[in-house]
Structure 1
Amino acid sequence: MLFRARETARQKAPVHPEPSQVTLRLTTGEVAVTLKRNARARRYTLRVRAATRDVVLTMPERGSLREALDFARRHVGWIEVRLARLPEVVAFVEGAVIPVRGVPHRIVHRPEARGTVWTGGEEEPVLHVAGNVAHVPRRVADFLKREARRDLVEASHRHARALGVSISRVTLRDTASRWGSCSANGALSYSWRLILAPAFVLDYLAAHEVAHRREMNHGPRFWALVDRLFPERHAAERWLKKHGAELHRYGTGE
């Protein structure tokens, strides 16, 4: 009976859950560190994410939190160097230059004008933004998302017709790790930031996701479908590999 009582007491002892994120102090400030356990990991590893401008610390399944944090602290210099290499954030404010379908546009505030956002410009492409200056970031973000939805819906349905498949809906998100996805029921999801890339890159991502309506994998038959829908896929993939991370620098936090 005594043994059982002690076991019960031990089982009821409070268990403190392991944090999923910690803050690491740098010489230049602080940075969020996301903790992830991986059963296949054999050592501690660090990765700086350009999209979220934070750090991921991967731990072996049996690794200790204390060892992981010590590992991160020993590599503060490495983290700082990589964070410093990230492109500067460009907010949606007066005078900022942002790409729309790959073409740089300067944001110009037009407080006296009616409407919301429209394109124009004679000497250089311009995004005109009407209304109160405090509303400029939100109005620019809303404009880009509307344009992204229009282009992605059109491209998705065009490729679906070419492939003889159906899609149930198209949604937009601000994802950090993937540009698009396709569910088993035909729902497509994309990053709205694709509107910042050249039009052919957006078109490729639409073809890629629509092809999953036939092949929910990345095997040879899937890529044959993508090439049928979008023969220039290698050029689009090269562009994303080289410039994709930079799309996350615009309007961060808007």
Structure 2
Amino acid sequence: MKQAMGFLPRLRSRGAETPPTPDHCHVEIDGERVRVALNWNPRASRYTLRLRGSVREPVVTIPYRGTLAEVRGFLDRHRGWLKARIDALPMATPLADGASIPLRGESVRLRHVGGRGTVRLQHTLTGDELVVAGDAEHLPRRVTDFLKREARADLEAATARHAAALGVTVKAIRLGDPASRWGSCSSSGTIAYSWRIIMAPPEVLDYLVAHEVAHLREMNHSPRFWRLVRTICPGMEAGKDWLHRHGASLHAVGAD
């Protein structure tokens, strides 16, 4: 049966006279309507399909002269691939009282206590808890803020250590929540990290930092670059493999 698709209009930036184009569509897979983002890219040479695991949303990149009819056919041909990738994504873990989330690779249970106070990590006989005071509706934000603070502390310490080992200077450290990368390094010396890395085991965070700091010496992924990373992070393969296998689970934390 042909997939049902719906479109919402979007005006291209070239001007109001340009015919409206959609910014997303809905495709039916096994009776479920799945939202697909449409990325109209005049520099693209072909259609591509990827999955933004952080929001469980497929994205189709449409090349110059691409058409909606071709989008329909492209999605239809890749329906099996798309279903398999969506099914493989970890289930979302909303930030709510009683939920368990990872912190430095260990499971931590969220416990809302209400009243005035801060967010604090508490060790109990049944396991670690993240005790969250305040109104229940503020729990997701307060937990996220706590994770960001912990991430900044660990990332700054690891960055300083690896930068000293390589004799490089880091101009600034920024935290964000990118959908498709864990870190980036600019030639100006600014390094950006995903705050979600604080949920991974410490050796994974260490690998990520070593990777980005090494870019201050080698702005590429040449053999020389990887030798630098291995020099300051001998366990890099384990960290790299962990992110490949389990990184999507970190993006599922806090998702609806």
Is TM more than 0.5 here? yes
Amino acid at match of 1:204: Y
User: Quick check: 1:168–1:187 contact (8 Å CA) kept in 2?
Assistant: yes
Secondary structure of 1:188 counterpart: strand
In structure 2, how many angstroms separate the alpha carbons of the residues matched to 1:84 and 1:248? 15
2:171 paired residue among 139, 149, 168: 168
Task: Give the structure with the larger helix fraction.
Answer: 1
Amino acid at match of 1:181: S
**What's the CA shift for 1:219?**
1.0
Matching of residues 154-233 of structure 1 within 5 Å: 154-233=157-236
Aligned Cα root-mean-square deviation (Å): 2.3
Residue 248 (structure 1) aligned with residue 255 (structure 2): no
Aligned to 1:234: 237
List alignment gaps of at least 5 residues for structure 1: 1-11
Secondary structure of 2:226 counterpart: helix
Matching of residues 65-84 of structure 1 within 5 Å: 65-72=68-75, 79-84=82-87
Matching of residues 128-143 of structure 1 within 5 Å: 128-143=131-146
**What's the CA shift for 1:25?**
4.2
In structure 1, how many angstroms separate the alpha carbons of the residues matched to 2:27 and 2:59? 15
Aligned to 1:88: 91
Secondary structure of 1:140 counterpart: helix
Aligned to 1:35: 39
**What's the CA shift for 1:110?**
1.5
Pair 1:233–1:67, CA change in 2 (3 A): same
Aligned length: 239
Residue 152 (structure 1) aligned with residue 155 (structure 2): yes
User: Quick check: 1:116–1:131 contact (8 Å CA) kept in 2?
Assistant: no
Q: Deviations over 1:128-161 (max 9, x none)?
A: 1112211111111000000000000110011111
**What's the CA shift for 1:30?**
4.1
User: Quick check: 2:119–2:130 contact (8 Å CA) kept in 1?
Assistant: no
**What TM-score, normalized by structure 1, do the two folds share?**
0.85
In structure 2, how many angstroms separate the alpha carbons of the residues matched to 1:101 and 1:94? 20
**What's the CA shift for 1:245?**
1.4
User: Quick check: 1:117–1:139 contact (8 Å CA) kept in 2?
Assistant: no
Whose Rg is larger?
Answer: 1
In structure 1, how many angstroms separate the alpha carbons of the residues matched to 2:187 and 2:81? 41
In structure 2, how many angstroms separate the alpha carbons of the residues matched to 1:77 and 1:239? 26
2:62 paired residue among 51, 59, 63: 59
Deviates more, 1:171-180 or 1:31-40: 31-40
List alignment gaps of at least 5 residues for structure 2: 1-14
Deviates more, 1:195-204 or 1:54-63: 54-63
In structure 1, how many angstroms separate the alpha carbons of the residues matched to 2:164 and 2:192? 18
Secondary structure of 2:127 counterpart: coil
